[in-house]
Chains A and B, each alone.
Chain A
Amino acid sequence: MTDRNHENILTVKNLSKRFGHVEVLKNVKLSLGLGEIYAIIGPNGAGKTTLFNLITGIIEKDAGNVIYYNDLVSGNLVSGRGVKGGVVSGKLVRGEGWSGGMVKEDLVSGKLVSGGGVNGRVVKEDLVNGDLVNGKMVDFEMNGFHKGFLFRRRRFKLSEGHFITSHQSPLTSHQSRVGNGGKTDITGYKPYEIARLGIGRTFQGNRVFGNMSVLENVMFAKQLIEIENPIALIKTNHKKLLKELKDKNNLVSREKEATNLEDFLKKEAEYWLDFVGLKEKAGNKAEELSYGQQKLLSIARLLMADSRLLLFDEPTAGVNPKYSVRIAEIFRKIVEKGDKTILFIEHDMKFIQELGCKCLYMEEGKCPWPFFELEVIIKNNDIRRKFMGM
């Protein structure tokens, strides 16, 4: 429990990337706290988008690490496609064992293999195929099996006695968050694995699903691993799953009234569309929206996915002032509860000033300084000349 920082959500250490002869990123370091908004500014070609691509696993790094601090919830624990895992730190409160792991009390030092759950055994040494209850987790190692349909396995090593899972299901409650979970080195993870941990992003350009309706675009974002394969479509008990979903405490609106799974997703999607102000457009095809509205749609989609760390690539590019004010409002609302962090790339200094957030200046793949206030950065003559052209 040495260097654990309760406030952190992501730390990037000495990240480097090279495309052919061009060194796009050189030893980039940054650290993001929970519940904050951060901006990245810098001239074109500074490596800002590449940094996003590296964090989200779309391209592979050459050197360095990205450390993600998992969420600790006292809600449900996760079982994504056969993954068993739990989140616990010290004491866990409530277990909604749903083939995920949940500990009621503390777990004493030991090894946890493929375990988790509510009614289980207490162990001092190795816990094999069992459930975890009563015990304190101090200095232990956990091996969670990631058993997918293709039976791939991955080992997760836990550090600092904080027990975190392989994958968090999107159903994980974030509202009852009580502290930081363990940390995971996500470098080398696949994009979808990183997304499941709670890192979501938008892209430069809108990249909405043009042929689908606006509502479907948002409904898509909620990942229900239990039913997203052809066999589960027949096999899974939809009513039971719906009941489980309704029992979670992270409902956002009228989902309790839902009569079936589709209705449940629809009600939540409508809430997020309302949140960004696109409710009237729900039935339209996404390609029929204006550019600015598509930006809002991609934000709604990300919110539906319930990510903890939201990366926005130029959220206000090509957007008129009215929408950019609205996006600033939305950003503030997102971090209001303190359980989500926003990192965005931006060229509009007014937008950043309005948010009053800290900025990271990037130039030729380097970050010469840590996060600073925008005013401080643009006072630097060098930056004014190179970046602002003044």
Chain B
Amino acid sequence: MKPILSLLTKIYKCRYSLLLLPFLATLLFYIFTSIFSATGFSSINYPLHMLLMINIYIILGFSVNLVTGYTGLLSLGHGALYGISAYITVFGLMILKISFFPALILAILFNMAVSLLVSLPSIRLKQDYFVLAVIGFQMVVFTVLYNWTSVTQGPYGIPGIPRPDIPGLWNVSEPWEYAILSYLLLILVFIYFSRIDRSSFGRVIKGIRDDELVVESMGRNVNLIKAYVFALSAGIAAFAGALFATSATYIDPTSFTLDESIAIIMIIFIGGSGNLKGVLWGAIFVELLPEILRFVQLPDAVAANLRQIIFGLLLIILMRFKPTGFAGDYDYD
């Protein structure tokens, strides 16, 4: 018994064990729904798809956590960055005919470039005005995606997106393969992020969140660091965009609206920001809650509204009683 216990404590203490959370949550969800459903154990493809979506949202959560949770710049434009990278991946796959990973790199680079275009002029703005500038960016991106029909096919969307592959080695097509691919990308992001979390760079950006002037007077070029952070965050969001586009095999601009940006930021408001674990809890919650509501067999129209109401109430309750979110370090109060 003792060795098992000590092994379990070791696993619990290792930060990488956090990566098991999405898997365990999905497993629990699957078992729970199967026990209470009339039809018994159903196809495993559905929970695997859930796992993929959770992983995508965790990656997005890390991306927004870097900007908002660590550096303290409230960003309501991550839906746009997510969208741009999805479209650029599609462009790479369908027009340039390159395979998934080169397309991903293309999306990352493009996203970073776009983020610099946005951040360099707006980063000097004070908090509230920065938020407005980023919302403006979100609006512009959505409008372009929606109306530039000759390129993006606007509201009709782009169907038939090729599935991700490594030529000659791996053709991702089954849900479990998507889950593994998403896990691989998530692990990459997680390793990098945990490195930031425990580094001088991490402390500097946390310092910017707490007191910009002190950071500046301690020899750091704050504006430059903010631009770095924004670009980095955009790069991370591209992982999610590429995964989403190739797994859904169809994208249209309505997936990347301001609502999406708000959903992304909800991850860190609910789960907690400024550390690694908050994002995981937040993403799991935001993804699984609607599924659970669907499971209790509320009509779709009610479920969708109920979701909004629950999120809204939860935000108010959290802000009042636990401003750090479920598992966060940083207090927005």
Q: Do A and B come from one complex?
A: yes
Spell out A's residues near B (CB within 8 Å). Answer: 56, 58, 148-150, 170, 190-192, 195-196, 200-201, 203, 207-212, 216, 219-224, 227-230, 232-234, 261-262, 265, 301, 305
Residue in A191, A227, A262 with the greatest tally of chain B CB atoms within 10 Å: A191
When distances are taken between beta carbons in the complex, the residues of chain A under 8 Å from B219 are: 170, 192, 195-196, 223, 305
- Report A-chain residues with C-beta under 8 Å of the C-beta of B201: 227-230, 232-233
Contact B217 A230 (CB under 8 A): no
Question: What residues of A have a CB within 8 angstroms of the CB of B259 in the complex?
Answer: none
Residue ranges of B at the interface with A (Cβ–Cβ < 8 Å): 192, 195-196, 198-201, 203-204, 206-207, 209-211, 213-214, 216-222, 224-225, 228-229, 231-232, 274, 329-331
Q: How far is the CB of A142 from chain B (nearest CB, A)?
A: 22
Within the complex, the shortest CB–CB distance from B213 to chain A, in Å, comes to: 7
CA distance A233 to B197 in the complex (A): 11
User: Bound complex: CA of A190 vs CA of B216, how far in Å?
Assistant: 9
A211 and B274 contact, CB distance less than 8 A: yes
The residue that B204 contacts in the complex, of A56, A201, A208, A228, with Cβ under 8 A, is: A228
Q: How far is the CB of A71 from chain B (nearest CB, A)?
A: 15
Enumerate 28 A-B pairs (CB-CB under 8 Å) in ascending A order. Answer: A58-B213, A148-B224, A191-B217, A192-B216, A192-B217, A192-B220, A192-B222, A195-B217, A200-B218, A203-B214, A209-B214, A210-B210, A211-B206, A211-B209, A211-B210, A211-B329, A212-B207, A216-B206, A219-B200, A219-B203, A220-B200, A220-B204, A220-B207, A227-B201, A228-B204, A233-B199, A301-B218, A305-B219
Q: Quote the shortest CB–CB distance from A302 to chain B (angstroms).
A: 8
- Number of A-B residue pairs having CB atoms within 8 Å of each other in the complex: 102
A contact residues around B225 at 8 Å (CB): 228-229
Tell me the complex Cα distance, A170–B213, Å. 19
Chain B residues in 8 Å Cβ range of A149: 224
Q: Which residues of chain A have C-beta atoms less than 8 A from B196's C-beta? A: 230, 233
Q: Which label, helix, strand, loop or mixed, suits the secondary structure of the B interface?
A: helix
- B228 partner residues in chain A, CB cutoff 8 A: 229-230
In the bound complex, residues from chain A placing their C-beta under 8 Å from that of B330 are 211
CB of B119, distance to nearest CB on chain A (Å): 13
Q: Are B220 and A262 in contact (CB under 8 A)?
A: no
Q: Given contacts A195-B219, A211-B330, A221-B218, are A234 and B192 in contact (CB under 8 A)?
A: yes
Question: In the docked arrangement, what's the CA distance between A208 and B203, Å?
Answer: 13
Query: Are B213 and A207 in contact (CB-based, < 8 A)?
Result: yes
Residues of B within 8 Å of A209, CB to CB, are 206-207, 210-211, 214
B218 to A228, Cβ gap below 8 A?
no
